[in-house]
Amino acid sequence: MRMKKILILAVAATALVACAKSFDKSTSQGQAIGFGTWAETMTKARTQGSSTFVDGDDFDVYGFKTISAANTTVFNGDDVSFDGTDWTYSNLRFWDPNATSYTFYAVSPAGKIASANAQSGEFTSSSITFAGNDNDVLVADKKEVTKTGSPAAFATTPVPLVFNHIASLVDFKVKKHAEIAAATVAITSFQISNIDNVGTFSVNDAYTNTHPVVTWNATAHAGTYSNTSGVTSVATLPNNIGTDGSDFLINNLVAMPQTFRTDENIQTVTIEYEITSGGDTIQNTASFNLKLFDKTDDKGNNDILISGWEAGKHYTFYITINANAIVFTASITDWVTPNNGYNYLLQ
């Protein structure tokens, strides 16, 4: 019994993009600064089972206005919350007609930031423990708002903040090889171990093309995730896997971006399974390094695709199970004639 093929497919998750939306707001003087956040392509990781923000989501906003080349902080970590329809915050700020521009930064969910510079967009987070599906972290693109029209004035529609996933999204799937398609393969246990699951992130003031530049610093490597850990969306392991790779072992796991190690804390995958055929059942356990996943579905497992999980990317790992079947060959030996024959003499 052996694992024959292990394959990884990595797919970069699409960054959140602003969609054209129209807001019906009055344009009277003294218009409050409001916020709108959306992305039709947001991954389901942000809110389990949903592709958009939902009632109860929130973010911390930072920002400043510029008057005569001088910057004045306007927002410094204010909590903006969503009620399912609108984003609101306390102590409204109003557009200043004397300002030439406003610049905004934001982090979701609220309460993640330990220190921040509201005028550069630099952030350092508090310690974050990744517990599974519902632990997504988002940082918005730098947003600058300037006056438009004649006479020049600030738009009174909500400020459109576009958020980016800065964690990683991971799925594990399993399939059986076509050579054992007729056998029944059941998965009895699955887990990944030694995952970086505690750490902090920081955002510098570079904001490449308005996108935040994020660095993660892991402080613990003790994370263990399995279908029974209560943090994944797969409650029951498949008891009769197919050959198409559609069966989940772990689904929609939000994980800390990390490099796969080679020391004693190596990230490890362990799977237990049963193969039943012809009334006989055999059991097997396989443990291997996450680095053994490669981009080619072959026996070698030596065409390494990635060295870790990067921020904002969605990875799907496939484990293919195969087995050495008991087979027979047959041949018949030639007739053997002892001596040269037998004689009998009649008298």
Domain segments of the chain: what residues? Answer: 2-11+168-322, 35-165
pLDDT of residue 104: 97
Q: What is the mean pLDDT of residues 153-160?
A: 88
Taking alpha carbons only, the member of 106, 89, 113 closest to residue 140 is 106
**204-240 pLDDT, tens per residue?**
988 999 999 999 999 999 899 988 776 677 878 999 9
Q: What average pLDDT does this structure show over 3-31?
A: 37
Q: Which CATH class is domain 2-11+168-322?
A: mainly beta
The predicted pLDDT at position 16 comes to 36
- Predicted confidence at residue 90, as pLDDT, reads 94
Give the least confident one: 34-38, 127-131, 247-251, 254-258: 34-38
Mean pLDDT score of the chain: 83
The pLDDT assigned to 263 comes to 81
Structure tokens at 214: 């994020």
- Residue 335, pLDDT above cutoff 50: yes
Q: Is the distance from CB of 256 to CB of 274 less than 8 angstroms?
A: no
Q: Do domains 2-11+168-322 and 35-165 have the same CATH topology?
A: yes
Q: Which residues contact 77 (CB under 8 A, 6 or more apart)?
A: 60, 61, 62, 113, 116, 118
Cα distances (angstroms) measured from residue 46 to each of 132, 250, 270, 276, 313: 11, 17, 27, 39, 13
How is domain 35-165 classified at the CATH fold level? Answer: Immunoglobulin-like (2.60.40)
What is the CB neighbour count within 10 angstroms for residue 212?
26
Q: What is the percent of the chain where pLDDT is above 70?
A: 83
Q: Find residue 117's DSSP bridge partners.
A: 122
Report pLDDT digits (tens) over 177-208: 999 999 999 999 999 999 999 999 999 988 99
Core vs surface per residue 294-312: b (16+ CB within 10 A) or e: beebeeebeeeebeebbbb
Q: How far is residue 208's CA from residue 12's CA, in Å, rounded to a whole number? A: 18
How far apart CA 331 and CA 230 sit, in angstroms, is 56
Lowest pLDDT segment from 85-99, 117-131, 293-307: 293-307
DSSP 8-state secondary structure symbol assigned to residue 340: T
Q: Which of 160, 158, 64, 166 is nearest to 109 (CA)?
A: 166
Confidence at residue 126, expressed as pLDDT on a 0 to 100 scale: 96
Residue type, position 289, single letter: N
